[in-house]
Amino acid sequence: MAELGRRQALGLIGAGAGLAAMPALAEALVDLRLPGGNGARPTSGDFPHKGGMILQRGRAPLLETPLDALDGQVFTPNDRFFVRWHYSDIPTAVDVRSFRLAVGGAVRQRLSLSLAELLAMPRVELAAVNQCSGNSRGLFSPRVPGAQWGNGAIGNAKWVGVRLRDVLDRAGVAPGAVAVKLGGLDKPPPGAPAFEKSLAIDHARDGEVMIAYLMNGAQLPLLNGFPLRLIVPGWYSTYWIKALDRIEVLTAPDTGYWMDKAYRIPATPGASVAPGAKDFPTVPINKMLPRAFFTNLADGAKVMARSPFYVRGLAMGGAHGVARVDLSMDDGRSWHAAPLGRDEGRYGFRLWEATVPGQPAGEYRLLARCTNSAGQTQGAAPIWNPGGFMRNAIESLAVTAA
Ligand SMILES: Nc1nc2c(c(=O)[nH]1)N[C@H]1C(S)=C(S)[C@@H](COP(=O)(O)O)O[C@H]1N2
Ligand SMILES: [Mo]
């Protein structure tokens, strides 16, 4: 890529995209079929660099990816990729000439890196699923507070950027460093804590965590973190700081709100507690779990009786690659392996497909279950925790043959 051309392209987007007048025009309704009801959501195609998205909230934007944008492809198109911001004061333009990434704290030498300097560093490429900790929260029962996402707070992209390790090494991590704190250009309202997250120093330096400037071969949409975002393969996207503009090396654990109070899960197997439980020990949310989704048929689909029908979907292994996807039509008594598509990287999505033999008229329930290469799999019983985090129960698809 010609560096000058690259910078001009960045400049164009940075200058041109006006998010100031954030639209919220409803175009059509989608029913997320949430167990607690109220699953109808408008869709909107009016957000910059975004096509049709499920509108969960306009300000700060929460845009969910519709099922059709996940169907039949491993990489989720940038213009359909979900969006989640905590605070409404988000960057609406970025001046790519004056933008700097600050690296400070316990380092030998503070850095202030321009985009040109970052683009000149060794580049790495990786496919990785970006999934909100609260993806599928709307399916929690009993219901918990927070965005009532269906299954679409998830996407997979090919990310290109630089290793966080290389940036840290350039600054020189000082002895005694224990963590790395990251923040972006979005601003909290007065009195609220900046959205900042931390990684343990060894994790930050593992050579996989990266600072991405390309998403599926293009610059990141502003809403997905232009010009730079952190990629933490296998971990929930709360750590994937968007519009990343500062990195601070810490010599004591981060006790900020977003690590110490928010995004914590029960320190129990499967992050599950009895509904309504409080006052249990917690840990910061961390690695993702395997999941499999149906994408070509929606729950409640009608198929022809006695005719074979085709199902397909996506699977992710979480912090490990997808080893297998199995389907069941008898509530999990027997399972049948579904052929997998090409392996595009162990942190990414994997396609799976199957042809279901023709069935007599009636109602059926298909189950899909992913197992990862570490042997982790999905359970039938849904978990519960008050944050509505880490749902990975086996998905089912109700089908009527008629
Ligand atoms: N700067 C910044 N980065 C952020 C957030 C944020 O509010 N501000 N939200 C995080 C959370 S909780 C999620 S789910 C992902 C969403 O990434 P996306 O909008 O690109 O899909 O961004 C993460 N990075
Ligand atoms: Mo999230």
Please report, for the domain that includes residue 337, its CATH number: 2.60.40.650
> 348 and 316 in contact (C-beta within 8 Å)?
yes
Ligand 1 centre and the CA of 132: distance in Å? 8
**Domain endpoint, select from 262, 279, 311:** 262
Residue numbers of the domain that contains 388: 291-401
- The answer as to whether 383 is a domain residue is yes
Same domain for 361 and 313 = yes
Same domain for 220 and 322 = no
Q: So what's the pLDDT on residue 28?
A: 78
- The answer as to whether 347 is a domain residue is yes
- The answer as to whether 359 is a domain residue is yes
Q: So what's the pLDDT on residue 7?
A: 38
- The answer as to whether 374 is a domain residue is yes
Ligand 1 centre and the CA of 237: distance in Å? 6
Same domain for 304 and 180 = no
- The answer as to whether 312 is a domain residue is yes
Same domain for 44 and 189 = yes
The secondary structure of 233-252, three-state, reads: CCECHHHCCCCEEEEEEECC
Q: So what's the pLDDT on residue 258?
A: 98
Q: Which atom of ligand 1 is nearest to the CA of 220?
A: 20
Same domain for 312 and 249 = no
- The answer as to whether 245 is a domain residue is yes
The torsion of the CA quartet 247, 252, 257, 259, rounded to 10 degrees, works out to 80
User: pTM of the predicted model, to two decimals?
Assistant: 0.94
pLDDT block averages, 10 residues each, the chain of length 402: 36 39 62 90 94 96 97 98 98 96 98 98 98 98 96 98 98 98 98 98 98 98 98 98 98 98 95 93 98 96 96 98 97 97 97 96 97 98 96 97 96
Ligand 2 centre and the CA of 400: distance in Å? 34
Protein residue with its CA nearest to atom 15 in ligand 1: 237
Ligand 1 centre and the CA of 229: distance in Å? 9
Same domain for 298 and 212 = no
Protein residue with its CA nearest to atom 10 in ligand 1: 238
Same domain for 312 and 223 = no
Protein residue with its CA nearest to atom 11 in ligand 1: 238
- List ligand 1's pocket residues with C-beta within 6 A: 81-86, 130, 132, 184, 186, 195, 224-225, 237-238, 240-243
Protein residue with its CA nearest to atom 18 in ligand 1: 83
Same domain for 156 and 33 = yes
Same domain for 212 and 159 = yes
Residue (of 8, 47, 53) closest to 28 by Cα position: 53
Ligand 1 centre and the CA of 332: distance in Å? 35
The residue assigned the tokens 């609220």 is: 192
Q: Which atom of ligand 1 is nearest to the CA of 230?
A: 24
Q: So what's the pLDDT on residue 3?
A: 36
Same domain for 337 and 217 = no
Task: Choose the residue to mutate in 49, 56, 63, 85 for probing ligand 1, maximizing ligand atoms within 8 Å of C-beta.
Answer: 85
- The answer as to whether 197 is a domain residue is yes
Residue (of 287, 273, 340, 313) closest to 131 by Cα position: 287
* CATH number for the domain harbouring residue 87: 3.90.420.10
